[in-house]
Chain A
Amino acid sequence: GESVGLHLPTLSVQEGDNSIINCAYSNSASDYFIWYKQESGKGPQFIIDIRSNMDKRQGQRVTVLLNKTVKHLSLQIAATQPGDSAVYFCAENIDPNTGGFKTIFGAGTRLFVKA
């Protein structure tokens, strides 16, 4: 079935460097994508989202890029800090034609930030 997946399961970066986390999706009909951060033992935390009519969206220290041609998402974190260490998931909202939307999560990437 269609799914959202990730290229890199683990990413290790030096504090202060920029981080790039990638995600490939296969549902060409998806209109809305979200990045979540999950710390150990906690629920996912919303980071940033993007609609399919956009290529780029920026937040505080984070940028999401969407390439619909190759069905690829990326999350860029500027000046990565130790507090950014977590697992990052991309997710897509899909419409199962039942009147409501559901969110499907990708496999996740663990980000380690070295001090």
Chain B
Amino acid sequence: GAVVSQHPSRVICKSGTSVKIECRSLDFQATTMFWYRQFPKQSLMLMATSNEGSKATYEQGVEKDKFLINHASLTLSTLTVTSAHPEDSSFYICSARFGVGDLYNEQFFGPGTRLTVL
């Protein structure tokens, strides 16, 4: 299957700093990418949907000024957690999909990035 990578896999930062997480589709062009957040022993919560070349669509309750998403190319999307605080510590997972309007297009998930804010 298609491969999605994330970088870094782990990051530890001080409170108040910003952290950038990259999501790359390695062998396919991803028209749509998704960002999820997962707290320990909980499910994946969708944060935002990102279409290449356009602004991301954020889920209700997700601050767009705090979680900046850029989908500049068909193989790269970035999530920047600005002014991170300990409550932002979580497992961030991206996924990528080939198409936009096809209900049945499979998503391919990245391995996740563990963010710890001290």
Q: Is the CB of A100 within 8 A of B43?
A: no
Min distance, Cβ A29 to any Cβ of chain B, angstroms: 11
Whether, in the assembled complex, A95 has its beta carbon less than 8 Å from a beta carbon of chain B, the answer is: yes
Mark A53-76 against chain B: 1 for CB-CB distance below 8 A, else 0: 000000000000000000000000
Q: Is the CB of B34 within 8 A of A43?
A: no
Number of B residues near A (Cβ < 8 Å) is: 31
Tell me the A19-44 residues at the B interface (CB within 8 Å). Answer: 31-32, 36, 41-44
Whether, in the assembled complex, B93 has its beta carbon less than 8 Å from a beta carbon of chain A, the answer is: yes
Q: Is the CB of A102 within 8 A of B43?
A: no
Q: Is the CB of B93 within 8 A of A44?
A: yes
CA distance A103 to B109 in the complex (A): 12
The segment from B14-22, B70-78, B81-89, B100-108 that touches chain A is B100-108
Which one of A31, A36, A44, A103 contacts B46 once the chains associate, using CB atoms below 8 Å?
A103
Q: Is the CB of B57 within 8 A of A98?
A: yes
Q: Is the CB of B32 within 8 A of A100?
A: yes
CA distance A103 to B4 in the complex (A): 17
Min distance, Cβ A71 to any Cβ of chain B, angstroms: 18
Q: Is the CB of B104 within 8 A of A42?
A: no
Q: Is the CB of B43 within 8 A of A107?
A: yes
Q: Is the CB of B112 within 8 A of A41?
A: yes
Min distance, Cβ B84 to any Cβ of chain A, angstroms: 20
A42 and B111 contact, Cβ closer than 8 Å, known pairs A100-B51, A102-B34, A106-B43: yes
Min distance, Cβ A110 to any Cβ of chain B, angstroms: 8
Which one of B44, B51, B101, B102 contacts A105 once the chains associate, using CB atoms below 8 Å?
B44
Whether, in the assembled complex, A93 has its beta carbon less than 8 Å from a beta carbon of chain B, the answer is: yes
Min distance, Cβ A6 to any Cβ of chain B, angstroms: 9
Q: List 6 A-B contacts (CB under 8 A).
A: A43-B95, A44-B109, A46-B107, A49-B104, A93-B103, A104-B46
4 tightest A-B contacts by CB?
A: A43-B109, A105-B44, A105-B43, A44-B109
A residues at B contact (CB < 8 Å) = 31-32, 36, 41-46, 49, 51, 89, 93, 95, 98-108
6 more contacts with CB within 8 A, not counting A95-B103, A100-B100, are A43-B4, A46-B107, A101-B102, A105-B45, A105-B46, A107-B42
